[in-house]
Chains A and B, each alone.
Chain A
């Protein structure tokens, strides 16, 4: 997962430099999708473990926050041209990537870290400030509901 995030960093840096998303759009969307798939699989694997780790909640919460951010990133990127979000989406994503890298490290190693929840909270707050985390409970079928519903039912999250 870290490898994919590093790839994303390269794409977003190029987008920022070029001032547009166009050239790297397809590859970036594909990489985000792969990351989402990986996170979903990790979430499922965690639940199916014979001996559930005692820090399951912390890890799953961190994964859920990651999922919401990546799906938000995907949606914004896909509509960046129409919404004139180009290349602001790249700048916003670059602001969040350092914490995404740190959390990928925790998730990959299933690391027992007392600060995991704190990391999840920092990540959510940084993403919110960069418009990459949107909880809108007023709309039916909002993104969060979709993510939790899809995780529960195992439906493909790809947007």
Chain B
């Protein structure tokens, strides 16, 4: 039985922490994931506290990271070379060395994590529950639809001032408008797949069976905060709901590191 805090590393963070290489093929250009700088310090922390086995991973996550890192690399090369991803296939021959270095980083990062065994039957059962959880989130989001409330307040306004009343109501409902429209659209267009459901199922499983508080370090919006609006505000509807329902804290890796360091009696980085 283990105790303390355990951090499940999602494939998105595993990839982000591994995708960082100065490419000889690109004339010394840096190939770096958008989230590298906030992901890598967490792995440094794991390295310095390797005996504590804080970072954990499952076979599913490892396989997912391996499968996705190649497309993440191709996407980055495409951005740096301004060659479309479709056209890039004929130019890829030069990037074998880069792929080797990135694979190596992925392996080094995986080696800092503990692979935990899970009961497959239980995970499949829990994954169904997680799927229902996301379906319920959509229902909750639909209920946040502020249109009826805004119309009602506008109608109740003084004659001649209905427009102002509508405007005030819209201001008050700004957050609901964003969440309802954009997050619901995201969930409809890009719903959690079976792998996402299984990751949360595995976290729930571990949370129940181990005397440890479970975090999920992820930049995937199915778990963590997400930018929905033009301003810099990050919406936490999904991670807050996961916390309420499953007592699992999902966040970006830099925030999880802050929490670990604040609470930690271990070595600080």
Tell whether A128 pairs with B70 under 8 Å between CB atoms, given A57-B93, A64-B100: no
Q: Say which one of A8-16, A99-107, A116-124 lies at the interface with B.
A: A116-124
Whether a CB of chain B sits under 8 angstroms from the CB of A144 is yes
B107→A65 contact, CB < 8 A: no
A121 to B15, CA, bound (A): 14
Tier of interface size on chain A? 20 to 34
Max chain B C-beta neighbours (<10 A), residue from A52, A60, A61: A61
A65 contact set on B, CB distance < 8 A: 100
Tell whether A144 pairs with B93 under 8 Å between CB atoms, given A117-B70, A118-B66, A121-B66: no
A122 contact set on B, CB distance < 8 A: 66
User: Which residue of B66, B90, B100 contacts A135 across the interface (Cβ within 8 Å)?
Assistant: B100
Whether a CB of chain B sits under 8 angstroms from the CB of A125 is yes
A91 to B100, CA, bound (A): 24
Q: Which residue of B lies closest to A52 (CB)?
A: B90
CB-defined interface of B91-112 with A at 8 Å, one 1/0 digit per residue? 0110111011101100100000
Q: Which residue of B lies closest to A58 (CB)?
A: B92
A148→B97 contact, CB < 8 A: yes
Main secondary structure of the interface of B (DSSP, over half): helix
Tell me how far the C-beta of A129 lies from the nearest C-beta in chain B, rounded to whole angstroms: 8
A57→B92 contact, CB < 8 A: yes
A54→B100 contact, CB < 8 A: no
**9 nearest A-B residue pairs (beta carbon):** A57-B92, A61-B96, A64-B96, A135-B104, A125-B107, A57-B93, A124-B103, A121-B103, A128-B107
A61 to B99, CA, bound (A): 8
A121 contact set on B, CB distance < 8 A: 66, 70, 103
Whether a CB of chain B sits under 8 angstroms from the CB of A138 is no
B97→A144 contact, CB < 8 A: yes
User: Which residue of B70, B96, B103, B107 contacts A60 across the interface (Cβ within 8 Å)?
Assistant: B96
B89→A54 contact, CB < 8 A: yes
A128 contact set on B, CB distance < 8 A: 104, 107
Q: Residues of B at under 8 Å CB distance from A?
A: 66-67, 70, 89-90, 92-93, 95-97, 99-101, 103-104, 107
B101→A137 contact, CB < 8 A: yes
B101→A60 contact, CB < 8 A: no
A144→B100 contact, CB < 8 A: yes
A56 to B100, CA, bound (A): 16
A135 contact set on B, CB distance < 8 A: 100-101, 104
Given contacts A57-B93, A61-B100, A124-B100, 20 further A-B contacts (CB under 8 A): A54-B89, A57-B89, A57-B96, A61-B96, A61-B99, A64-B100, A65-B100, A117-B70, A117-B99, A118-B67, A120-B99, A121-B66, A122-B66, A125-B103, A128-B104, A133-B104, A135-B100, A137-B101, A144-B100, A148-B96
B95 contact set on A, CB distance < 8 A: 57
Selected A-B contacts with CB under 8 Å, 17 pairs: A52-B90, A57-B92, A61-B99, A64-B100, A65-B100, A68-B100, A118-B67, A121-B103, A122-B66, A124-B100, A124-B103, A124-B107, A128-B107, A144-B97, A144-B100, A148-B96, A148-B97
A68 contact set on B, CB distance < 8 A: 100
Max chain A C-beta neighbours (<10 A), residue from B66, B97, B101: B97
A56 to B90, CA, bound (A): 8
Tell me how far the C-beta of B109 lies from the nearest C-beta in chain A, rounded to whole angstroms: 12
Q: Which residue of B lies closest to A129 (CB)?
A: B107
A144 contact set on B, CB distance < 8 A: 97, 100
A56 to B92, CA, bound (A): 9
B96 contact set on A, CB distance < 8 A: 57, 60-61, 64, 148
Q: Which residue of B lies closest to A133 (CB)?
A: B104
Tell me how far the C-beta of B83 lies from the nearest C-beta in chain A, rounded to whole angstroms: 14
A116 to B228, CA, bound (A): 38
Tell me how far the C-beta of B111 lies from the nearest C-beta in chain A, rounded to whole angstroms: 9
For window 43-93 of A, CB contacts with B under 8 Å fall at: 52, 54, 56-57, 60-61, 64-65, 68
